[in-house]
Amino acid sequence: MASVEAPAVTPEEARRHATGPTAGLADGYTQANLIAVPRDWAYDVLLFAQRNPKPCPVLDVTDVGSPRTVLAQHADLRRDLPRYRIWEHGELTAEPTDATGYWRDDLVAFLIGCSFTFESALRQAGVPLRHVQQGRNVPMYVTDRECRPAGRLHGPMVVSMRYVPAHLTDTARDITARMPAVHGAPVHIGSPNALGIKDLDQPEFGDATSPHDGDVPVFWACGVTPQAAVMASKPPFAITHAPGHMFVTDVRDDDYRVF
Amino acid sequence: MASVEAPAVTPEEARRHATGPTAGLADGYTQANLIAVPRDWAYDVLLFAQRNPKPCPVLDVTDVGSPRTVLAQHADLRRDLPRYRIWEHGELTAEPTDATGYWRDDLVAFLIGCSFTFESALRQAGVPLRHVQQGRNVPMYVTDRECRPAGRLHGPMVVSMRYVPAHLTDTARDITARMPAVHGAPVHIGSPNALGIKDLDQPEFGDATSPHDGDVPVFWACGVTPQAAVMASKPPFAITHAPGHMFVTDVRDDDYRVF
């Protein structure tokens, strides 16, 4: 079953050829969110991440202007994600599949942990992944929880949601708690209202998924949170990944397991 | 026994009155390393910490010029540590018990996790703490492992060492692995040579401790690492804690346990 859900592509193949959401791709390898901002804003982003470690666990930060990361030696961050978003003053202005033409010499890129990383571990523990089964992008929601601001950056926390059979929510919590670098334990289990989410069928990012009988919604902090901060805080320029269209690294998921 | 090793002082009492090393003080409360640098160097320090999360897990970063931290609402970072070190161009120039006269309006202070934080958990699991029993500061050593540089900051990793009975090293590893925010699992168990440490009886910081029969040296990454980076990288000005003389926070140790 794992081989059906997770075609055996290498991380490099995923970086070169993927065009859609990357959930289930290059199974066992860590995926990452991207946000690149001008050097002048880099301290704010790094501090925002430090102050909000559940949604923004930083896996790597590039040197100014460099599209290279230690997470994948031969990758080029300008073109090796399936889809990008270009932001000007908080407005989405383009969604290209290659960001080379938008890259600037003063950009600093942040790679932030992604919950797709713990999906292999969930699957191995028998926790079904409804969005993968249903061929959809994971649903993501803007919550009513404000992040702790940092410098000029502020905004709400974004969460991803997975329906989990009620008898497996403890398992899902325990497995993901051991991986704090990729969001760790859920921020909430059970009630969308507790996070200010009005309708699970209308996610702000990704696709709605369908629960099975007895499923409970489980919410994890999400690396799209910096994009919500870009929208709220309006830095002059930013490049991010498109939600669900992640950077596939060469690092094994297990490397981010603390126990 | 716990009451003998750990007098029941509150974190606030510890901040006001402690003058020596803080191991075992305010048992159950998180302790932190301090490094404050001019704003111009703050990005380098924060990036250095991100790139070296084992020695430099950041618990809080202050706003520019502020001596306030979310880790202890009523504390004043200028005076509430037992002892400070003042650094100019990488040279130690003073070691006051109050840093108020040295504080600057452009300073950004970083509070970094401290291995003293997991000592309560070790003690509760039956792992003896030789340095506490012997009334000494924990021994710390400069290793031959270079940290990953960041901007203008570079330097070697510093480790703390605790002698642990051989049959309890797995226990010590498992307990501390669950607390990555306060250095997490050991970086090495067994051989000082593996870290380039020549003589366990001559620590660079703190005091030598004596092993019992069957004890094995266990090494954890240490928050004195930024001080080694200050010595190597020579920023114009910095204020740090004196090794072992930590900032006692109001946060419970358990808050940094991921599982």
Across the interface, of B47, B174, B178, the residue whose CB is closest to A46 is B47
Portion of chain A with pLDDT greater than 90, in percent = 94
**Tally of CB atoms within 10 A around A65:** 13
The tokens of A106 are what?
A: 């003063």
Q: Nearest residue on chain A to B51, judged by CA atoms?
A: A60
β pairing state of A91-94 and B84-88:
unpaired
The tokens of B202 are what?
A: 């001559």
**Chain A contact set for B43 (CB, 8 A):** 42-43, 46
Tell me, yes or no, whether B259 lies in a domain. no
CA distance B72 to B255: 14
Among B86, B197, B101, smallest CA distance to B143 is for B197
**Chain B contact set for A178 (CB, 8 A):** 258-259
pLDDT of res. A4: 41
Tell me, yes or no, whether A3 lies in a domain. no
Tell me, yes or no, whether A259 lies in a domain. no
pLDDT of res. B7: 53
**Chain A contact set for B69 (CB, 8 A):** none
pLDDT of res. B203: 98
CATH number, domain containing residue B130: 3.30.2040.10
Among A250, A231, A185, A255, smallest CA distance to A87 is for A231
Task: Give yes or no for a contact between B146 and B154, defined as CB atoms under 8 angstroms apart.
Answer: yes
Tell me, yes or no, whether A173 lies in a domain. yes
Tell me, yes or no, whether A2 lies in a domain. no
Does B230 score more than 90 pLDDT? yes
Q: In which domain, by residue range, is B204 found?
A: 8-17+30-254
Confidence label for A259 from pLDDT (cuts 50, 70 and 90): confident
Tell me: the pLDDT tens digits for B83-134?
999 999 999 999 999 999 999 999 999 999 999 999 999 999 999 999 999 9
Task: Tell me the nearest-neighbour CA distance from A58 into chain B, angstroms.
Answer: 7
Q: What is the mean pLDDT of chain B?
A: 95
Tell me: the pLDDT tens digits for B9-50?
999 999 999 889 998 899 899 999 999 999 999 999 999 999
Portion of chain A with pLDDT greater than 70, in percent = 97
Task: Tell me the nearest-neighbour CA distance from B48 into chain A, angstroms.
Answer: 10
Tell me, yes or no, whether A56 lies in a domain. yes
> B interface mutation test: which of A40, A43, A173 has the most B CBs within 10 A?
A43
CA distance B95 to B239: 10
Interchain CB contacts (distance < 8 Å): A and B? 40
Task: Establish if A177 touches chain B: CB-CB under 8 angstroms.
Answer: yes
Q: Nearest residue on chain B to A58, judged by CA atoms?
A: B50
Residue B66 phi/psi, 5° resolution?
Answer: -85, 135
Tell me, yes or no, whether B22 lies in a domain. no
Task: Establish if B208 touches chain A: CB-CB under 8 angstroms.
Answer: no
**Overall number of domains in chain A:** 1
CA distance B186 to B169: 10
CA distance A120 to B214: 41
Tell me, yes or no, whether A18 lies in a domain. yes
Mean pLDDT of B229-248: 97
Tell me: the pLDDT tens digits for A164-199?
999 999 999 999 999 999 999 999 999 999 999 999
Q: Which carries the bigger pLDDT value, residue A5 or residue B67?
A: B67
Task: Tell me the nearest-neighbour CA distance from B43 into chain A, angstroms.
Answer: 6
Tell me: the pLDDT tens digits for A145-155?
999 999 999 99
Does B149 score more than 70 pLDDT? yes
pLDDT of res. B2: 39
Across the interface, of B46, B184, B258, the residue whose CB is closest to A184 is B258
Does A130 score more than 70 pLDDT? yes
Q: What is the mean pLDDT of chain A?
A: 95
Q: Do B180 and A258 touch (CB under 8 A)?
A: yes
Tell me: the pLDDT tens digits for B51-65?
999 999 999 999 999
CA distance B148 to B154: 7
Tell me: the pLDDT tens digits for A69-78?
999 999 999 9
Task: Establish if B126 touches chain A: CB-CB under 8 angstroms.
Answer: no
Does B3 score more than 80 pLDDT? no
